[in-house]
Amino acid sequence: MIQGISIYEILTVTTVLFFIGVYGFLTRKNLISMLISVELILNASVVNFVVINKYLYPDMLQGAVYAIFIIAVAAAETALAISIIINLYRQINSVEVKDTEVMKH
């Protein structure tokens, strides 16, 4: 627990972080930026879990453990996404979304 800071302030920050992530995912035109936006969303939930655990239910460690698992899974997800992006880059020399639109309707 941090002295002088209530849970409301931290949850506001994580919520803002979450919506920045969603906004970034929907507006960015670059695959890497979209990936970064997804990471923002995941990190918002990680902070959420830890903070809720610490402030509201400090006698159990469920939230903290959950956070560790999310970090590990997020790393795996990023690694896989990056490897697919690299493979795509080898073929079309671009990581822009508009160049990945062969299939439509």
Partner 1 sequence: MDLSTFLLMRHEIVLLVVILLLIIGEVFIAESKKSSMVHLAVFLFGIHTLIGFLSIDYGSLFGGMFHTNALIQFLKNVLNIGVLILLLQSGDWLQEKIIRVNRGVEFFILLFSSLLGMYFMISAGDFLMFYLGLELSTLPVAALAAYDITKRISSESGIKLILSAALASGVSLFGISMLYATTGSIYFTEISYVITADNLTVLAFILFFTGLAFKISLVPFHFWTADVYEGAPISIASYLSVISKGAAVFILMILLFTVLKPLMHIWENMVYIIAIVTMFIGNLFALRQQNMKRFLAFSSIAQAGFILLGLITGDQLGTATVVYFLLIYIFSNLAAFGVVQAISLETGKEQMKDYEGLYRTNPNLSLIMMLALFSLAGIPPVAGFFGKFFLFTAAASKGYYLLVFLAVVNVTISLYYYLLVVRAMFLRKSDNAIPYFKSKVYMRLGLLITAIGILVIGIYSPIYDYIYELSRNLL
What's the rounded Cα separation, in Å, for the pair 50 and 73?
16
Residue 4 CB, nearest approach to partner 1 (Å): 21
Residue span 76-95 as binding mask against partner 1, x where in contact by CB under 8 A, dash where not: xx--xx--xx-xx--xx---
CA 101, 82, 39, 30 torsion-angle sign: negative
Distances (CA, A) of 63 to 41, 47, 75, 102: 17, 10, 19, 42
**Which spans of this chain sit near partner 1 (rule: CB under 8 A)?**
18, 21-22, 25, 31, 34-35, 38, 41-42, 44-45, 48-49, 52-53, 56-57, 62-63, 65-66, 69-70, 73, 76-77, 80-81, 84-85, 87-88, 91-92, 100, 102-103, 105
